[in-house]
Amino acid sequence: MNHQVYQPMPVALSIAGHDPSGGAGVIADLRTFTALGCFATAALTSVTFQNSTGVFGAEHLRAETVRRQVMAVIEGNTVACAKTGMLPTSEVVREVARLFCENNLPAPVVDPVIRSTSGYALIEEDALEELLKELLPLARLVTPNIPEAERLTGLRVNDEAGMRHVAQAMREMGARAVLVKGGHLEDQKAEGRRLEAGGRQEAAIDVLDDEGRVTVFRGEWIEGGSLRGTGCMLSAAIAACLGKGMSLENSVGEAKTFVAEAIRIAQQPV
């Protein structure tokens, strides 16, 4: 008789903001965790008022409220992987850092959410300073896009060399590993369009610097269209893959494939 050994799904934790329209934030994270075979859990840091046209405001939760959510999760589960998203206030950032330090939680994937696509500030200035000081050194990976990387370091990024430079700068600020996402690189967008016109589609660039070991991910440039929350999805997917025991490099590769497929599906006519 063939006896199968039950393997419980890895428990994945997202600590992030809530988007009631479902495009980004914890809802996008939970969908991603589930799609990649993890048991999804979450703690809210802020309730935002947003939809596909923009963010219209937010009510931030108290640090103690965030703590009680996380403690409820970890008292009943062994968390295999975690990610953070919107951490709007300095009190919340400090509390989240304490939670990771005090409870032997896995080093998180930190998505340094600073501003919405529509331009709404999602983190207070002093909270950004706390994130750099308190949370950056605890992260397994930090996943800034180009504007976020520029804001965090004060450096300008114009090309792949600039992406490598800014990733190294963030490591020197305390990060163990940094994935600089190239989707906002303007000349990359232009190059992507030129290559598509010529029949080749290998223009998208993301740079991973893991403790000084640099891997450049090059792939097909895909216009995101109306799909929101791709940054949330990517960081959640990386965390999920880490929770299943994959290496960081392979986790990033799998996560990029997952997000690319989500973009393709979103482009298909209904």
In a domain, 270, yes or no: no
Please tell me whether residues 122 and 29 are part of one structural domain.
yes
Please tell me whether residues 235 and 213 are part of one structural domain.
no
HSE value, Cβ hemisphere, 13 Å, CA-based, for 137: 10
Higher pLDDT, residue 211 or 120: 211
Please tell me whether residues 105 and 134 are part of one structural domain.
yes
In a domain, 210, yes or no: yes
Q: What is the mean pLDDT of residues 226-240?
A: 90
Which of 42-51, 69-78, 201-210 shows the lowest mean pLDDT across its residues?
201-210
Residue 207 has pLDDT above 50, yes or no: yes
Give the single-character DSSP code of 49.
E
Residue 81 has pLDDT above 80, yes or no: yes
94, two tokens: 């400090």
pLDDT at 203 (0 to 100)? 66
Please tell me whether residues 50 and 5 are part of one structural domain.
yes
In a domain, 27, yes or no: yes
Please tell me whether residues 98 and 157 are part of one structural domain.
no
In a domain, 116, yes or no: yes
Please tell me whether residues 134 and 20 are part of one structural domain.
yes
What is the per-residue pLDDT across 138-177, written as a single tens digit (0 to 9) for each? 999 999 999 999 999 999 999 999 999 999 999 999 999 9
Please tell me whether residues 44 and 134 are part of one structural domain.
yes
In a domain, 215, yes or no: yes
In 139-229, which ranges are continuous DSSP H helix?
Answer: 146-153, 160-172, 186-197
pLDDT at 130 (0 to 100)? 95
In a domain, 186, yes or no: yes
Number of folded domains in the chain?
2
Please tell me whether residues 11 and 31 are part of one structural domain.
yes
Residue 50 makes CB contacts below 8 A (sequence gap 6+) with: 19, 20, 21, 23, 24, 56, 116, 120
- Beta bridge partners, 41, equal 13
Structural domain range at position 161? 146-221
In a domain, 269, yes or no: no
Which of 26-35, 198-207, 246-255 shows the lowest mean pLDDT across its residues?
198-207
Q: What is the mean pLDDT of residues 250-254?
A: 97
Question: Which helix or strand (DSSP H or E) is residue 179 part of?
Answer: strand 177-181
Average pLDDT for the chain: 89
Place of tokens 């405001």: 57
Higher pLDDT, residue 40 or 5: 40
Residue 186 has pLDDT above 60, yes or no: no
Residue 59 sits in a domain whose CATH number is 3.40.1190.20
Please tell me whether residues 122 and 150 are part of one structural domain.
no
- Determine the residue type at 198: G
Determine what percent of the chain is predicted with pLDDT higher than 90: 73
- Beta bridge partners, 209, equal 178, 214
Please tell me whether residues 155 and 259 are part of one structural domain.
no
Please tell me whether residues 117 and 246 are part of one structural domain.
yes
Please tell me whether residues 58 and 80 are part of one structural domain.
yes
Higher pLDDT, residue 193 or 4: 4
Residue 262 has pLDDT above 60, yes or no: yes
3-state secondary structure of 3: coil
Q: What is the mean pLDDT of residues 103-113?
A: 96
In a domain, 194, yes or no: yes
pLDDT at 123 (0 to 100)? 92
pLDDT at 197 (0 to 100)? 45
